[in-house]
């Protein structure tokens, strides 16, 4: 379940254009192969994404606690008291002499993270304008409780620049400021995110030893490898919504893709009133294919 909201929406929506071959390929892979693509921070629209300001200010006591936490992350097996003290002192000395090291270390982590972005809204006009080629694209509807979507977390919007104090902020605060915070200008997106961490067998094993992991998320967590493709649960795709200006060629292409799926895929079409309100209408033909 999301860390910052125990009751996510029933559906989450992915907006995409169809006017670029890469987009059509990703759409086809999502629908036919049950996979989605997680982007790196370099591939996100906002150049400030996953780039918080990072400081490391605190007392000697707070610095030592930070050093101990790093040691726990680096050495899951227990160290002897003498070895642990030696490593603590090395880290504290490094911080005092090269404080930018702490910032560089966190940015190296963020470089290895993958992000899949969806919205809780299928009717926000700006989403259709910005991400679905002005209603010429489509929206894929996902079950918010199926497979990896059970890990989706709501984005926090604020007019303050996120600042992480690496010495005193707890892991939840660091996660929110690093990966789940955007400027207030983006609030119309009503975004949720699934975060994929980098592949590391020791880290993943440690995560399972420290957390109760829902069955729906086990496979996703075990195969995390940062940016790239991830498998969806077979039941995750709930439907497709056509933009009001989808071309006949793209609609025919999409139908040819849907015809290859051996289960019912409900189809709706969006329409936009002069007032700007977007509504969704079922098409005669939520279609059912044969296996």
Nearest to 24 by CA among 138, 114, 142: 138
Residue 3 has pLDDT above 70, yes or no: no
Q: 182 vs 205, which has greater pLDDT?
A: 182
Residue 74 has pLDDT above 50, yes or no: yes
pLDDT at 291: 32
Give dist(CA 184, CA 52) in Å, integer. 15
Nearest to 109 by CA among 74, 77, 152: 74
Average pLDDT for residues 77-90, to the nearest whole number? 82
Query: 3-state DSSP call for residue 129?
Result: helix
Give dist(CA 286, CA 226) in Å, integer. 35
Q: Percent of the chain having pLDDT more than 90? A: 55
Average pLDDT for residues 62-68, to the nearest whole number? 84
Q: Percent of the chain having pLDDT more than 70? A: 94
Q: Give the residue ranges of DSSP H helices in 37-80.
A: 60-74
Phi/psi at 211 (5° precision): -135, 150
Judge whether 92 and 63 are in contact, CB under 8 Å: yes
pLDDT (tens digit, 9 = 90+) per residue, 247-274? 999 999 999 999 999 888 999 999 999 9
Query: Quick one: pLDDT band at residue 107, thresholds 50, 70, 90?
Result: confident
pLDDT at 7: 65
pLDDT at 168: 87
Give dist(CA 92, CA 178) in Å, integer. 23
Helices then strands (H, E): number in the chain? 9, 14
Token couple for 9: 């929406």
Give dist(CA 224, CA 221) in Å, integer. 5
Judge whether 113 and 39 are in contact, CB under 8 Å: no
- Mean of per-residue pLDDT scores for the chain: 87
Query: Quick one: pLDDT band at residue 284, thresholds 50, 70, 90?
Result: low
Q: 185 vs 58, which has greater pLDDT?
A: 185
Q: Of 6-10, 110-114, 196-200, which gets the smallest average pLDDT?
A: 6-10
Q: 73 vs 85, which has greater pLDDT?
A: 85
Average pLDDT for residues 190-199, to the nearest whole number? 93
Residue 78 has pLDDT above 80, yes or no: no
Nearest to 57 by CA among 169, 156, 195, 224: 169
Average pLDDT for residues 160-164, to the nearest whole number? 91
**55-to-99, 255, 280 alpha-carbon distances in Å:** 9, 52, 46
């Amino acid at each position: 379940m999301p860390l910052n909201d125990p009751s996510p929406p029933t559906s989450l929506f992915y907006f995409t254009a169809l006017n670029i071959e890469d987009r059509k390929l990703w759409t086809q892979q999502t629908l036919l192969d049950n996979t989605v693509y997680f982007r790196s921070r370099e591939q996100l629209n906002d150049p400030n994404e996953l780039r918080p300001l990072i400081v490391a200010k605190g007392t000697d006591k707070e610095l030592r606690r930070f050093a101990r936490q790093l040691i726990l992350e680096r050495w899951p097996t227990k160290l002897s008291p003498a070895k642990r003290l030696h490593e603590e002192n090395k880290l504290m000395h490094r911080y005092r002499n090269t404080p930018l090291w702490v910032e560089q270390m966190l940015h190296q982590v963020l470089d290895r993270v993958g992000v899949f972005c969806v919205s809780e809204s299928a009717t926000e006009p700006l989403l259709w304008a910005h991400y679905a080629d002005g209603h010429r694209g489509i929206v894929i509807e996902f079950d918010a409780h199926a497979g990896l979507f059970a890990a989706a977390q709501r984005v926090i919007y604020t007019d303050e620049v996120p600042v992480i104090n690496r010495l005193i902020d707890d892991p939840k605060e660091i996660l929110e400021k690093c990966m789940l915070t955007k400027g207030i200008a983006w609030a119309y997106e009503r975004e949720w995110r699934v975060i994929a961490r980098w592949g590391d067998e020791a880290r993943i094993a440690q995560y399972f030893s420290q957390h109760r992991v829902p069955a729906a998320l086990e496979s996703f967590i075990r195969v995390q490898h940062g940016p790239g493709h991830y498998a969806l649960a077979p039941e995750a795709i709930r439907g497709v919504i056509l933009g009001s200006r989808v071309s006949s060629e793209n609609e025919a292409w999409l139908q040819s893709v849907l015809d290859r799926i051996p289960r019912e895929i409900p189809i709706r079409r969006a329409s936009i009133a002069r007032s700007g309100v977007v509504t969704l209408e079922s098409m005669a033909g939520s279609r059912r294919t044969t296996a």
